[in-house]
Amino acid sequence: MTDPFEALREPITPVDPDPDFAGRLRQRLTREVLAHPGGTMSQQTAATPVEHEPAPPPALTPYIVVSDARRAMDWYVEVFGAQRRGELHVNPDGTIGHAEVGIDDAVLMFAEASDLWPDVPVRAPESPTTFSHTLHLEVDDVDATTERARSNGASVEREPTDQPYGRGSVIVDPFGHRWMLLRPPARTTRPHQHDTAE
């Protein structure tokens, strides 16, 4: 008697996978491999991604004081492409006690000074000529961002120039905060040892 599995067996015919499926699978495998450098795949356990899980907050978040938080929020959205985050917290005296914008993977928090909180000794800069800090922001196009800042009321302290560390400029926003805008140089690959001539 013939084995039923042998009777039903058909020759293996190679097929081309669906290109969309193959592309998605390739991207997923690449993400998983690159997410776990070192070790071997048999030692790694990839966590199943959760689509709506919030990213962890940055380790350092600047919290600045501005004279007009609503106008500052509009300015950061217009000039830097920031995204509004959450609702404005309005103090009983009408000042803004807290506002946030997201710029790429960073968060910028800001507020207006208020006499309601005499124990919080912060004030917005008023026509500063010296600065205690500079906010550093990487942008795709330094020239365009600098020009957008200028046309929206920023003063340009240093025009865009090429430096060894990238193309950069320095501006002071209309609220008295100094920003260094930078486009780092393209990353270059280090030659492998066997690629180096002896």
User: Is 110 found in the same domain as 67?
Assistant: yes
What CATH number corresponds to the domain at position 62? 3.30.720.120
Please give the average per-residue pLDDT across 182-198, as a whole number: 57
Single pTM value for the model: 0.66
- Domain residues for 82? 56-116
Strand order in the sheet with 96-103: 63-65, 106-111, 96-103, 83-90
pLDDT computed for residue 143 by the predictor? 98
Please give the average per-residue pLDDT across 23-35, as a whole number: 75
Q: Which phi and psi (to 5°) does residue 103 adopt?
A: -125, 105
CA-wise closest residue to 154 among 184, 179, 122: 179
Q: Is the model's pLDDT at 188 over the cut of 60? A: no
CB 90 within 8 A of CB 66: no
- The answer as to whether 150 is a domain residue is yes
The DSSP bridge pattern shows strands 106-111 and 63-65 to be parallel
The three-state (H, E, C) secondary structure of 127-183, written as one string: CCCCCCCCEEEECCCHHHHHHHHHHCCCEEEEEEEEECCEEEEEEECCCCCEEEEEE
pLDDT computed for residue 121 by the predictor? 87
Q: Which residue has the higher pLDDT, 126 or 54?
A: 126
Percent of the chain with pLDDT over 70: 81
CA-wise closest residue to 127 among 95, 169, 174, 69: 174
User: Is 106 found in the same domain as 61?
Assistant: yes
Looking at 67, 84, 116, the residue that finishes a domain is: 116
Q: Is the model's pLDDT at 115 over the cut of 50? A: yes
CA-wise closest residue to 112 among 69, 158, 147, 83: 69
Report pLDDT digits (tens) over 48-86: 555 556 667 778 999 999 999 999 999 999 999 999 999
> Rounded distance, CA 67 to CA 100, Å?
15
Q: Which residue has the higher pLDDT, 112 or 15?
A: 112
Please give the average per-residue pLDDT across 154-168, as a whole number: 97
CA-wise closest residue to 138 among 108, 117, 160, 168: 168
CB 176 within 8 A of CB 127: yes
Q: Is the model's pLDDT at 117 over the cut of 60? A: yes
Q: Is the model's pLDDT at 179 over the cut of 90? A: yes
What CATH number corresponds to the domain at position 157? 3.10.180.10
Q: Is the model's pLDDT at 32 over the cut of 50? A: yes
Q: Provide the domain count of the chain.
A: 2
Strand order in the sheet with 166-172: 135-138, 178-183, 166-172, 155-163
Q: Is the model's pLDDT at 46 over the cut of 60? A: no
